[in-house]
Amino acid sequence: MFMKRIILLSLLGQMMCLSMYSQVRMRDIFASAPDSVFPLLTRNNRLDCIDFIENKMPARVKNRLDNVVELLKLGDAYLQLRTSERSIVEMRLLSDSLMCLIHTYMGPAADSRVSFYDTAWKPVATELPCPAVGDYWQAVPDSLAREADSARRALADLTLTHIKASEAEPTLTFTLQTSELEKKEREVAQHYVQPLVYRWDGKSFVRQQK
């Protein structure tokens, strides 16, 4: 009986070690990215960024066009990369086999594009939430209803959305951009338009209620 317990504990230990070694890490996914995903960033560029940030150094490199790229954050499940003065890339693991890649462009309002891959960089068809403009609005006082209605109509034509991944959990935060509205409409919208948070539940994104 005692020997059986020893053998069982040994097998459990080996399984835990294998699990630890097989765990997918963001550093490895980033290093293995194909050129089609980061066409201006060589593999050596990416490896240098990883080496610098893991050694507590500024993770800045020159890309193929001789422009500075900086790896800002690197965790087990999250990465943030500044690819230019007006663009940011985020990578976020949603599960052991699914990740999202977010390109955000500032011009000056932020607008994001999201794509999904497995950990071997094979594209995965995943439905992204598409909230309506009205979903972002909280209740507006009657005294501001006119400006709010005008802002809603203008935002329906613009629909610039900043999508941000969380470092700590598999969530995406959607923020409707209001900077291109007229001043009065923008003041109302900035106060009553609220971000929306969606969590990946293993099958789809589910909106989180406050």
Judge contact between 114 and 124, C-beta under 8 A. Answer: no
**Whether the predicted pLDDT of 138 surpasses 70:** yes
State pTM to two decimals.
0.85
Please tell me the number of Cα atoms within 13 Å of 141 on its side-chain side.
Answer: 4
Judge contact between 137 and 150, C-beta under 8 A. Answer: no
CA distance 100 to 94: 7
Show Cβ contacts of residue 206 under 8 Å, excluding neighbours closer than 6 positions.
Answer: 198, 199, 200
Share of the chain above pLDDT 90, in %: 72
CA distance 169 to 89: 17
User: Which amino acid does the sequence have at 150?
Assistant: S
**pLDDT digits over 8-30, tens only?**
334 444 444 333 334 789 999 99
**Whether the predicted pLDDT of 107 surpasses 90:** no
Task: State mean pLDDT over 98-121.
Answer: 96
pLDDT of residue 58: 97
pLDDT of residue 10: 45
The strand pairing partners of 116, in sequence order, are 100
Across the chain, mean pLDDT equals 89
pLDDT of residue 209: 86
Number of neighbouring beta carbons within 10 Å of residue 130: 9
**pLDDT digits over 144-183, tens only?**
888 889 898 889 888 899 999 999 999 999 999 999 898 9
Q: Would you place residue 196 in the very low, low, confident or very high pLDDT band (cuts 50, 70, 90)? A: very high
Tokens in use for 85? Answer: 């003065």
